[in-house]
């Protein structure tokens, strides 16, 4: 263009400025806007920076896969087979426990390898836990609210293991 223009004048993609905020050092500004229309970046996305990966992102993908059930989707398969999902939860729980024990007893070859295995197994278990919650209509927002409520309670629990079934009490 050989002239100044108003953003959204031809596309209809506009942004209404709601407020401007200063950071604590008073050396950066944050503009809070309401977007109208679609695609503010030339790629058609709401912004020009990639969205950070969050548990909410993962939860949205899980929900999308359960609703659309694309062919070959492991998530959709898990959502439709509660026995398979329960089996995967048990398997990943055991694998996380094994990784923790290997890390504790020093049988992992290095600290990085041990913590890497713990990260891998914990991530697997977290994924299957989110799939299980989603299969019952619970998203990461519901889990976040529950944890937030629990954090407000002032009480101490002894954190003792439950007695195994059939064990003498």
Q: Kindly report, residue by residue over 53-86, the tens digit of the pLDDT.
A: 999 999 999 999 999 999 999 999 999 999 999 9
Contact 82, 72 (CB under 8 A): no
Q: Where are the domains of the chain?
A: 11-51, 55-152
Q: Which CATH number fits domain 55-152: 1.10.3470, 1.10.8, 1.10.287, 3.40.50?
A: 1.10.287
Question: What is the phi-psi region of residue 142: left when phi exceeds 0, alpha when psi lies from -120 to 50, beta otherwise?
Answer: alpha
User: Is the pTM here over 0.75, yes or no?
Assistant: no
Q: Kindly report, residue by residue over 110-168, the tens digit of the pLDDT.
A: 556 668 999 999 999 999 999 999 999 999 999 999 999 998 887 777 778 888 877 66
Question: What is the phi-psi region of residue 119: left when phi exceeds 0, alpha when psi lies from -120 to 50, beta otherwise?
Answer: alpha
Burial letters 51-68, b for 16+ CB under 10 A, else e: eeeeeeebbeebbebbee
């Amino acid at each position: 263009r050989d002239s100044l223009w108003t953003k959204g004048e031809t596309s209809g993609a506009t942004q209404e400025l709601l407020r401007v905020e200063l950071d604590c050092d008073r050396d950066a500004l944050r503009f809070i806007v309401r977007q109208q229309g679609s695609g503010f970046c030339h790629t058609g996305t709401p912004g020009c920076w990639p969205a950070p990966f969050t548990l909410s992102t993962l939860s949205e993908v899980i929900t999308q896969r359960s609703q659309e059930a694309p062919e070959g989707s492991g998530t959709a398969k898990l959502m439709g087979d509660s026995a398979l999902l329960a089996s995967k939860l048990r398997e990943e729980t055991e694998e996380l426990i094994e990784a923790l024990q290997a890390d504790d007893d020093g049988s992992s070859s290095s600290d990085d390898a041990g913590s890497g295995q713990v990260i891998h197994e914990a991530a697997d278990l977290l994924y299957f836990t989110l799939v299980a919650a989603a299969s019952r209509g619970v998203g990461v927002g519901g889990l976040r609210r529950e944890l937030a409520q629990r954090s407000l309670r002032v009480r101490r629990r002894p954190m003792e293991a439950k007695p195994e079934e059939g064990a003498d009490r």
